[in-house]
Structure 1
Amino acid sequence: MPALSLRRVTTLLLAVACPLSAQTVRSYQSTPDLSSALEAQPALAFTAKSSASPLTITVNDSERFQTMDGFGASMTEGSAWLLHDRMSPAMSRDVMTKLFDPSSGIGLSFLRLPIGSTDLSLNHYSYDDMPAGQQDPELRHFSTEHEKDYVFPVMREALKLNPAITVMATPWSPPAWMKTHDSMVGGSLREDDMSAYAEYIVRSLQSFKKANIPVKYLTVQNEPLHETEDFPGTLMLADQQKRLIGRYLGPDLRHVGLQTQLLAYDHNWDHPEYPIEVLSDSAAAPFMAGSALHCYGGEPSGQSVVHDRFPDKGIWMTECSGGTWQKKAPLEVTAHLLIDSTRNWAKAVALWGIVLDTDHNPHAGGCGTCRGLVTLDTKQMSVSYTGDFYALAQASKFVHPGATRINSTSFKNEGLESVAFQDLDGSIVLLVLNDRSDTAKFDVNWNAKTFHAALPPGALATYIWSPKQ
């Protein structure tokens, strides 16, 4: 995959910096083979003519939906280690800038931060590990020292590059001694350790805050319906999750003055009844901002099922990994996710690991075939940027935190899909994916004006214009 070259970055920045002329539309395009990657296209122009095309995307900024937190991925221990320890300082600065800087890079603005280890870690660990058979109910051995080597420094650097980043925290497992079979792999949280686990999470957030990593959102268990076999994970049914939040964790967070908001579930689209049960609980509900969902089962419409029951609560797409199992180009896969998730109320879209090496490492069990946004070749000591990176870039570079999704027509059956937003400065941003095998020619209509456009097969484009012209 091609790197984000200096020439392309310079072209992009010059194009972004240029003021829009009257009735003009800026556009940027990426193709599946990345021969065109976030590449500025010739300016388009609105005309007063009505559209005669059967494929006309109508954008209506008077129909408004969710506000956006942003786009991003997870800062796993493995990703942080590659960025901090395996890359040279110069290479790491360059990659971090491209990932997070809103001006010189793509401005990723949503980061999921694990509490302890995941499958994309160097090994399994919690913040209160004890010898087998021993317990620590008063958390006397609690420590986040492990994260001070690379996770905390890399997170702080990301927040320095983009202070608008929203951080969400998630544990994959309680400490082994809190579980039904004394292991971070599989099993469940013991009922008699609910209070200790709530305190463990609170201390984790306090430690993150002390490290200048403020956490806005929290889920209490990654993929709670998946009892893992070779990496940290915990089976936690909705009944236990709502009691943990309502009786222990929610009150404990408020008692210590943390304003972190909780999200229910953090698992696949195919079980919307889980977050609905948690959000319906009268004790848990006051602490809940909404629900977190993943892409590995079901359809994006599962998000709308939850939204329809709780329209005042948010939806966040918090994990979707690419990997060797996928047949389509990464750009197309992630473009579908961006459009389908946000059209079904997602306030953020986050992929999985940020950086992996060419052998899909590091991983400690779990996914050995996952794909990151950035691939590090440890033999050549070079980096490349995947189609996932460029798909996210087509959104994150232009749709900023606080933007509102607005209405746009989408032709899924005809292979032309879209989603539109309005940024806080009033600019309108339209993403269009050509899911056809031929070039798609179409019109875009807004405010009784039209521009004409064409997209190569599989291409994703972003169109930006200002209503103030």
Structure 2
Amino acid sequence: MISGVKKSLCTLLACVTVLSVMLVPAPPKASAASDVTVNLSAEKQVIRGFGGINLPAWIGDLTAAQRETAFGNGPNQLGFSVLRIYVDDNKNNWYREVETAKSAIAHGAIVFASPWNPPSSMTETFNRNGDTSAKRLRYDKYAAYAQHLNDFVTYMKNNGVNLYAISVQNEPDYAHTWTWWTPAEMLNFMKNNAGSINCRVIAPESFSYMKNMSDPILNDTQALANMDILGAHTYGTSFSNFPYPLFKQKGAGKELWMTEVYYPNSDNNSANRWPEALDVAYHMHNAMAEADFQAYVWWYIRRQYGPMNEDGTISKRGDSMAQFSKFIRPGYVRVDATKNPNTNVYTSAYKGDNKVVIVAINRGTSAVSQNFVLQNGTASSVSTWITDASRKVAASASINVSNNSFTAQLPAQSVTTFVAALGNGRSTVSETTYEAETSITVPVQ
């Protein structure tokens, strides 16, 4: 999905991000004695889930065993509850998406779809900043394109897959090898055509959460009415740009999803490098706690830089994702928690199924003794799961809760998930009882 040029641009954006961080005064550091206070009554966003894309047109379908690994939630499984699939511009290729999508649905996941191009009969070339081969949707084909998307929704439904949502366009603002849309063109389609799509509509899926693509939709009553989910990719997006005040102001009743990323890079055979893979958990923390995203969707599920290794086993990047995806299930709600209680420690908290789930990341090179305090809810014990240099979502000793607080050791360079049953009962979470995510230019391989 991402070309070499895009990879370079993302590197540049990342450098700009680092520079901006260097130039902005750092916030005050929390003292060593800071607690993590979890307020179970202070509800934030509803979580739809975590997952990635399956794209058999480019890298081959997931095998039956790999589908189990991706969407199952038992031992050595990722617990993904969201699957993204590809809307091929050629209807004759739609069959490729069916089997993995059906498997995801059978495991309780939701499925959404993104197109890269309309059918060639609906597009035209134009001169974009000197590029005479740039492609766009013809203005007289907007209605036909909406019907094309409807046809895909119907095809998948007839083959056993009820899509949760469908996107208008993958990365309309980074379309060197697919179809460009300007903010005005996206607004036009959303106002006048998206309402005819028989499915939840995702827009605009900007490649770097560029607000100029989505601001016009939020500021237009009709376009906003026709958008169900604001989708964004976060390639090169600085964490300082994760919050979206205009969405908070205008987006009542709409969902906010992060629909594609890989992080921190797509280097060959990078998926198992530690502590680099811990950066995935840190990125997810920011996506949940700073951006308030309701879904977190990786690029290729199976790839040498993805959550699943090419041999179908779970990578260390996958372990970082699983510390969220296996425990924070669809419909859980994020609740307020101290985000950065100590230097290099980052926490977020969620509730659902009468449980509280806390994810704590220690990016430092030394272990940290961290105290947690529950407000507006009680628990008697906490189950613990750890990923670090040597462990992979490994169960650790349970911790007793006293006076609504407990203290845990966060190993150096680790991510730990705590799960507690709310009330006077003990947590019953175990590794086997989780509660129920022309031609195409081939992307980075």
Calculate the TM-score normalised by the size of structure 1. Answer: 0.70
Match of 1:324 among 249, 264, 267: 267
Residues 356-377 of structure 1, C-alpha deviation per residue, up to 9 Å, x if partnerless? 3x5xxxxxxxxxxxx222122x
2:113 equivalent in structure 1: 169
Counterpart among 307, 312, 325 of residue 373 in structure 1: 307
One-letter amino acid of the counterpart of residue 373, structure 2: N
Q: Which residue of 2 is the match for residue 56 of structure 1?
A: 35
- Give the drift of 1:331: 2.7
Q: Structure 1 residues 96, 193: CA separation in 2 closer, same or farther (over 3 Å shift)?
A: same
Verify: 1:113 aligned to 2:52, yes or no: no
Residue number in structure 2 paired with 1:194: 142
Q: Given the alignment of the two structures, is residue 446 of structure 1 paired with residue 367 of structure 2, yes or no?
A: no
Give the superposition deviation at 1:74.
0.8
* Counterpart contact for 1:330–1:386, Cα < 8 Å: no
The CA distance in 2 between the partners of 1:328 and 1:221, in whole Å, is 35
Residue type of the alignment partner of 1:216: Y
The aligned counterpart of 2:98 is 152
Contact 1:263 1:291 in 2 (8 A): yes
CA distance in 2, matches of 1:406, 1:276: 27
Aligned partners of 2:412 and 2:348: how far apart in 1? 18
Pick closer, same or farther for the CA change 1:453–1:186 going to 2, 3 Å. Answer: farther
- Residues 214-240 of structure 1 deviation map (CA, whole Å, 9 limit, x = unaligned): 111222111111131xx4x21111211
Aligned position for 1:282: 221
Aligned to 2:380: none
SS at match of 1:146: helix
Name structure 1 gaps, 5 residues minimum.
1-51, 85-91, 117-125, 128-142, 359-370, 377-381
Residue 209 of structure 1 corresponds to which residue in structure 2? 157
**Structure 2 residue corresponding to 1:244, chosen from 189, 201, 205:** 189
Which among 52, 55, 71 is matched to residue 100 of structure 1?
Answer: 71
Whole-Å separation in 2 of the counterparts to 1:226 and 1:466: 45
**Cα distance change on mapping 1:159 and 1:103 into 2, 3 Å:** same
What's the secondary structure of 2:237's corresponding residue? coil
1:452 to partner: Cα distance: 1.1
Q: Which residue of 1 aligns with 2:18?
A: none
Structure with more contact order per residue of length (Cα contacts < 8 Å, sep ≥ 6): 1
Q: Match of 1:221?
A: 169
Q: Which residue of 1 aligns with 2:322?
A: 393
Cα distance in 2 for residues equivalent to 1:189 and 1:456: 52
Q: Is the 8 A contact 2:36 2:341 kept in 1?
A: no
Deviation at 1:301, TM superposition (A): 4.5
RMSD of aligned alpha carbons: 2.4
One-letter amino acid matched to 2:318: F
What does the per-residue CA deviation read over 1:336-363, in whole Å, with 9 as the maximum and x for residues that have no partner?
121101112110101000113x5xxxxx
SS at match of 1:151: helix
The Cα of 1:286 is off from its aligned counterpart by 1.6
Partner AA of 1:225 in structure 2: D
Aligned residues: 353
Task: In structure 2, give the amino acid aligned to 1:354.
Answer: I
> Contact conserved, 2:362 with 2:411, CA < 8 A, in 1?
yes
Give the unaligned 5+ runs of structure 2: 1-30, 376-402, 425-445
Q: CA deviation at 1:180?
A: 2.1
1:330 shift after superposition: 4.7
Q: 1: distance between equivalents of 2:412 and 2:277? A: 12
Alignment of 1:384-423 (within 5 A): 384-411=313-340, 414-423=343-352
Distance 2:119 2:420 in 1: 51
